[in-house]
Amino acid sequence: MPSDSYYLIKYRIGDNNVIMRLRAWGANVEVLFPSDLRDKMRSDLEKLWKRYLD
């Protein structure tokens, strides 16, 4: 039985609810497309990293 799962979602651009649901998966999720959503996730994670690094 494979350990990977793939999901296809449709979302509204700027819908914070989608981002919150993806964050709930933590390190178990990777956003591949669309690139703007991937960039948003990366940007948010970088901000969190900097906050907790200090």
Domain extents in the chain: 16-53
pLDDT of residue 6: 78
Q: How many secondary structure helices (H) and strands (E) does the chain include? A: 2, 0
Q: Is the dihedral of CA 17, 43, 27, 51 positive or negative?
A: negative
Taking the C-alpha atoms of residue 49 and residue 53, their distance in angstroms, rounded to an integer, is 6
pLDDT of residue 24: 95
pLDDT of residue 9: 76
Instruction: Please list the ranges in the chain whose pLDDT falls under 70.
Output: 1-2
Phi–psi pair at 3, nearest 5 degrees? -95, -10
pLDDT of residue 2: 61
